[in-house]
Structure 1
């Protein structure tokens, strides 16, 4: 399969659960060597889209392909790895036993030691799974997801329960897999994780894709800017200005978000002639996500035209 042919694809997909429209005409493609962050509030349709690609659900309309096949085809499913948020694993088996068992389901798996080292659990191979901490169990689940040499890896909230060091190590492993040509679908509520890892971001709301593109392109779509400075002005005064959407202190600096950056800069300079360390930044992914989903909520609440 050449690089320009999608590894997985949704085309015009609709899915309902009774009266609830979970997906309403979704189009999505996944290519080798990219990390797609699939973001959205609860109920946006993320889990349904992933369930369709995994072959766990059937679409009501539209088409779903995994490596050009039906996602329920065994040959297609052998090309994926999955790390779900909730995993029920045999608690009495050791980490090494779990890896050997899972690897046995694939035609050309990674070796147990290689999988364990990539996931940072090589020192846990003889430990029973039930004796591990929550963060250690998540790292083992990651090792299980990658042991079959997947061409497409699904990671659902992969770093929940991990400390900062473990999270950074897992990020490094994910980057290595992507560099090796693996496609990764990441769902996470840690927006800084998506910002750090994603080559493409897809934001969903109300069963539709409302934004898709690079992190920089998504940030550029929103009006908010960040303004940072050192100032003699107090936080309460600045927070009350009409140009300021949000204000707080970060160390010795004021941090403000604003849809009116030029007006705010002029007001700051006029109010404090000793203003220092002034910096203007594009909105972060968190601000962009919030603005996009709030706009989608507002649009969904409007009554349809007669």
Structure 2
């Protein structure tokens, strides 16, 4: 009898352990690219918060390819996830992925970049318009309200590029002494930032300042400018480790610092609320700050 009870107790324990092991809800984070320090920090913040809250988080890299993004979403939906967190490769292209999740009745949370279609439970991002305006105001200040300026844009079609540009233009368009002589995409990429900046300098050798819509492009532009021997102010965006180091060294004039790890962590918090049936706001803005030397 004792042996039977012991076996029964053991079976009950194992059954309970199996239930506990299965109790962790699966979430997925589909990231536009992990070849960018900003999105690595976003991923790290999400992973840390998921571990803290007991979630099983699947992370997939879309490698800046909308087709791979859709494939990644289809993949994680087949794995029984409860909530999809997605950092879109492109705000328009991501519509197909969001609608795929909608059809599967899986709530969608967008991070950093919004979706221009489909049903999204909440969007978590920095106020990119306000950040772009911060950068523009800083450039006006650095130039004393007079000078020629260039802009390196991010990936066309992304909400981040659109909104940062909008805020920047709001600032400089209001100052009649500032002339925008070039505005070209470099896809948030350091190497492309270098190449595009070299081309801009050839066409406009007398520019005085550059706004790069992320630190990667700003650092690429810095290489091009250093090669030219010119003194040109550069303001970046994101507040990455490399960007902040360049500001501290005096090679970048400033960077508008985001908190990508907090964006990721807040995404997990929002997923937890959704799973509890709680209401979440349509938009959560994460604070920004301008970092200068």
TM-score (norm 2): 0.29
Counting strand residues as a fraction of each chain, which structure ranks higher? 1
More helix by share: 2
